A and B are shown apart, each in its own frame.
Chain A
Amino acid sequence: AQSVTQPDIHITVSEGASLELRCNYSYGATPYLFWYVQSPGQGLQLLLKYFSGDTLVQGIKGFEAEFKRSQSSFNLRKPSVHWSDAAEYFCAVGPLGIQGAQKLVFGQGTRLTINP
Chain B
Amino acid sequence: EAGVAQSPRYKIIEKRQSVAFWCNPISGHATLYWYQQILGQGPKLLIQFQNNGVVDDSQLPKDRFSAERLKGVDSTLKIQPAKLEDSAVYLCASSPTVAGDGYTFGSGTRLTVV
Contact = CB atoms under 8 A, between A and B. Distances in A.
Interface of A: 4, 34, 36, 41-46, 49, 51, 90, 92, 96-109
Nearest to A52: B100
Given A43-B107, A100-B31, 10 more contacts: A42-B108, A43-B105, A43-B106, A44-B93, A90-B43, A97-B99, A100-B30, A100-B99, A101-B102, A108-B40
B99 A103 contact: no
A101 B95 contact: yes
Interface in B37-81: 40-45, 48, 50, 55-56
B42 A106 contact: yes
A96 B103 contact: no
A46 B95 CA distance: 13
A101 B42 contact: no
Contact of B97 (A101, A105, A109): A101
B45 A104 contact: yes
Contact of B105 (A4, A44, A49, A101): A44
Interface of B: 4, 30-31, 33, 40-45, 48, 50, 55-56, 91, 93, 95-103, 105-108, 110
A109 B43 CA distance: 9
Contact of A44 (B41, B43, B101): B43
A109 B105 CA distance: 16
A9 to B, nearest CB: 8
Given A103-B45, A103-B48, A108-B42, A96 B106 contact: no
B102 A44 contact: no
Contact of B41 (A45, A97, A108): A108
Contact of B101 (A36, A41, A101): A101
A110 to B, nearest CB: 10
